[in-house]
Amino acid sequence: MMPISGNIRPSQGEFNVTERLENKVGLVTGAGSGIGRASALAFAREGAKVIVADVQANSGEETVEMIKSAGGEASFVRTDVSDASEVESMVNKTIETYGRLDCAYNNAGVVISPRLTPETSEKDWDHVINVNLKGVWLCMKYEIPQMIKRGKGAIVNASSMVGLIGLAKRSAYAASKHGVIGLTKVAALEYANAGIRVNAICPAVVRTPLVESIIQSDPDAESQLMSMIPMERLGTLEEMAEVVVWLCSDASSFVTGHAMLVDGGAVAK
What pTM was estimated for this model as a whole? 0.92
Q: φ and ψ at 69, to 5 degrees?
A: -65, -20
Predicted confidence band of residue 6 (pLDDT cuts 50, 70, 90): very low
> Whole-angstrom Cα distance, residue 42 to residue 28?
11
Q: φ and ψ at 136, to 5 degrees?
A: -65, -45
Quick: pLDDT tens for 155-210.
Answer: 999 999 999 999 999 999 999 999 999 999 999 999 999 999 999 999 999 998 88
Quick: pLDDT tens for 72-88.
Answer: 999 999 999 999 999 99
Question: Is 105 one of the catalytic residues?
Answer: no
Rg (CA), the chain: 18
> Which of 98, 142, 173, 191 does the annotation list as catalytic?
173
Domain-wise residue ranges, the chain: 25-205+238-268
**For the structural domain made of 25-205+238-268, what CATH number should be given?**
3.40.50.720
Q: How many helices (H) and strands (E) does the chain have?
A: 9, 7
Of residues 219 and 11, more confidence is placed in 219
CA 39 to each of CA 26, 104, 165, 191: distance values in angstroms, whole numbers, following the listed order: 10, 10, 25, 24
Residue 260, pLDDT above cutoff 70:
yes
